[in-house]
Amino acid sequence: MKGLWFTELQTQDLALSCRVKATLHRENTPYQELAIIDTEAYGRMLLLDGVIQTSIGDEFIYHEMISHVPLNIHPNPRDVLVIGGGDGGVIREVIKHSSVEKATLVEIDARVVASAREYLPEIAYGLDDARVEIRYEDGIEHVRRVEDKYDVIIVDSTDPVGPAAGLFAADFYRDVFRALKENGVFVSQTESPLFNRELIRRIQNDLKRIFPIASLYLAPVPTYPGGIWSFSLGSKGPHPESFDWDKAARLNTRFYTPEIHRAAFYLPPFVAEILQQEESF
């Protein structure tokens, strides 16, 4: 294996390696170690504490699926909150919806936004849209302070360790429920159904206690552990599989389609089992 390689230890027993063309940037921010590398297989990548957050090669799958599913389920999303997501990928998708009047990005680390703007402009360009407000603050605190404000809340966080752990907690979901307007829809990235079964089960049980409708959907993300990723959804009213088909089909996307939206909620048996089993703690 000639050349320089980056390896992410994705679990204690699994690693993903990419051949590196160049290291474009590296710094310690007040919150984490940030790096931008260019790889042969997936192009430029954002790494936080050595974990792949996004890559030019596969980012569209994750960003389209975490955004267009909740935004199409909501009948008229006007005010949208994105927590995390400082690379701008979710915001780029959110502003494709003409109903959106305001998109607020709450990102704790200003250096993530600045680095994405400089090194990942294909992902970050939506951050300059006039409808976007960027606030550098803690998403948990932000949601605690607001009530009846947002139509859609999307959590595009890092993995549930360190400061991000609170974004996967029942208390946070209760605050999200309060921060949403009538008919509000919430989606969070909730890790790998192959390696994070207990976490997904616990989150789904929490959401079922808090929201009238809770659901799980999946998408393939090749650079994330196991290559298949889960998204947990809580809705105050709209049903996850009922949406305006023609409007969804008109979006300019590379992965998301109305057919894929519907199919994403049909869970393979090994994932359906996660939701059927009792919590083991």
Catalytic residue ranges: 156
Spatial separation of the C-alpha atoms in residues 262 and 251, rounded to whole Å:
15
- Footprint of ligand SPD on 72-101 (CB under 6 A): 85, 87, 89
Q: In this complex, which beta carbon is closest to ligand SPD, that of residue 7 or of residue 242?
A: 7
Please identify, using beta-carbon distances, which residue of 92 and 202 lies nearer to ligand SPD.
92
State the DSSP H helix or E strand holding residue 132, giving kind and residue range, or none if neither: strand 132-135
Answer for which of 32, 158, 190, 215 binds ligand SPD (CB under 6 A) is 158
Closer residue to ligand SPD in complex, CB, 42/236: 42
Map 6-36 to HEC letters. Answer: EEEEEECCEEEEEEEEEEEEEEECCCCEEEE
Instruction: Answer yes or no: are the C-beta atoms of 152 and 70 closer than 8 Å.
Output: yes
Q: Are 274 and 217 in contact (CB under 8 A)?
A: no
Residue 189 in the binding site for ligand SPD (CB under 6 A): yes
Q: Which residue stretch of 32-40, 94-102, 153-161, 259-267 sits at the interface with ligand SPD (rule: CB under 6 A)?
A: 153-161
CB of 33 or CB of 147, closer to ligand SPD: 33
Query: What is the SS3 assignment for 192?
Result: coil
Task: Determine if 53 is a binding residue for ligand SPD (CB under 6 A).
Answer: yes
Report if residue 64 touches ligand SPD, rule: CB under 6 A.
Answer: no
Measured between its terminal Cα atoms, the distance across the chain in Å is 44
- Asked if residues 155 and 167 have their Cβ atoms less than 8 Å apart, the reply is yes
User: One symbol per residue from 195 to 224: x for binding ligand SPD (CB under 6 A), - otherwise; what is it?
Assistant: -----------------------------x
Chosen residue from 51, 110, 165, 170 binding ligand SPD by CB under 6 A: 51
**Are 149 and 79 contacting, i.e. CB atoms less than 8 angstroms apart?**
yes
Q: Is residue 54 involved in binding ligand SPD (CB under 6 A)?
A: yes
Nearest approach in angstroms of CB 46 to ligand SPD is 7
* Least distance CB 155 / ligand SPD (angstroms): 9
CA 276: distance to chain centroid? Answer: 24
DSSP helix/strand/coil, 220 = strand
DSSP notation for 59-109: HHHHHHHHHHHHHHHSSS--EEEEEE-TTSHHHHHHTT-TT--EEEEE-S-
Residue with smaller CB distance to ligand SPD, 211 or 231: 231
Strand partners, 5: 19
**Residue 159 binding ligand SPD, by CB under 6 A:** yes
Site residues (CB under 6 A) for ligand SPD?
51, 53-54, 85, 87, 89, 156, 158-159, 189, 224
